């Protein structure tokens, strides 16, 4: 890794992360890197193929115990594929689950089934992999005393970034937080927490952008020096750090 280049934790969606140009961008980053991935569309398709109904409460997937094995299998495959994609591009990567060494501990949200909120991160496994020259690719499965828990990938990324005290970048399919969703030029380059909450109340920030914004602020509250939301595309990491791309969030 190049000296003086700050480390980054990057959260990608399952489908976005598998895009060749995004893997090229991540593999080419010269600082230390941790990736956290989601996989909502792939999970939904797999559950449907198995004959399971998918239900959401407040925008969050309900994971009954009988569906957890299938959810974990999909996420594990995605993590392995992303790690392989980075490795063949010259960036050795290892896929790990929060169950490995129980490094993600969570509290179950009963209303959502086997879904958890991360309460503790033991970063030793991640740090060992980084010291050995690997980029960890984190699958958002945590544990409690009863077993595995499905964790929202944005919130898992926030928890890990905070524990490492690293910047957190949340990739999405839009250029950042927008005043007008139809106008990419209305991007907010910087957004404070109070301002963001007002935009949520007003409906300007809506849908899937709400959990990303709140996860970014959660990362800051947990110890990240900065957090940002940006479209995953070639060149975005350098432009993000210079302020030319994405939305940087500050408390």
- Which residues carry out catalysis? 11, 14, 40, 154, 212
Query: Distance (Å, rounded) from C-alpha 175 to C-alpha 155?
Result: 20
Interhelix angle 40-49/65-87, rounded to 10 degrees, is 130
Q: Kindly write down the DSSP assignment for every residue of 65-113, as one continuous string.
A: HHHHHHHHHHHHHHHHHHHHHHHTTT--EEEEETTGGG-EEEEE-GGGB
Q: Kindly write down the DSSP assignment for every residue of 13-36, as one continuous string.
A: -HHHHTSHHHHHHHHT--S-EEEE
Query: Distance (Å, rounded) from C-alpha 16 to C-alpha 48?
Result: 21
Query: Distance (Å, rounded) from C-alpha 28 to C-alpha 40?
Result: 26
Angle at 28 between CA 32 and CA 178, to 5 degrees: 90
Burial label for 133, CB within 10 Å (0-12, 13-18, 19+), is exposed
What is the SS3 assignment for 214? helix
């Amino acid at each position: 890794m190049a000296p003086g280049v700050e480390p980054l934790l990057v959260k990608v969606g399952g489908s976005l992360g598998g895009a060749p140009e995004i893997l090229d961008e991540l593999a080419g980053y010269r600082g230390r890197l941790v990736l956290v991935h989601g996989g909502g569309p792939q999970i939904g398709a797999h559950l449907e193929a198995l004959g399971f109904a998918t239900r959401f409460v407040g925008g969050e997937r309900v994971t009954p115990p009988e569906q957890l094995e299938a959810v974990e299998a999909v996420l594990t495959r995605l993590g392995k594929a992303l790690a392989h994609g980075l490795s063949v591009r010259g960036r050795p990567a290892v896929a790990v689950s929060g169950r490995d060494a129980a490094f993600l501990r969570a509290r179950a949200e009963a209303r959502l089934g086997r879904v958890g909120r991360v309460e503790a991160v033991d970063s030793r496994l991640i740090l060992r992999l980084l010291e050995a020259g690997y980029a960890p690719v984190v699958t958002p499965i945590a544990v409690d005393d009863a077993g595995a828990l499905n964790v929202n990938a944005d919130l898992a990324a926030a928890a890990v970034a905070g524990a490492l005290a690293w910047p957190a970048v949340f990739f999405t399919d839009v250029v950042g937080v927008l005043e007008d969703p139809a106008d990419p030029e209305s991007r907010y380059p910087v957004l404070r927490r109070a301002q963001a909450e007002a935009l949520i109340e007003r409906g300007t920030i809506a849908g899937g952008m709400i959990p990303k914004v709140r996860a970014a602020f959660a990362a800051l509250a947990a110890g990240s020096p900065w957090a940002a939301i940006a479209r995953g595309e070639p060149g975005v990491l350098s432009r993000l750090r210079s302020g030319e791309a994405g939305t940087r969030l500050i408390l």
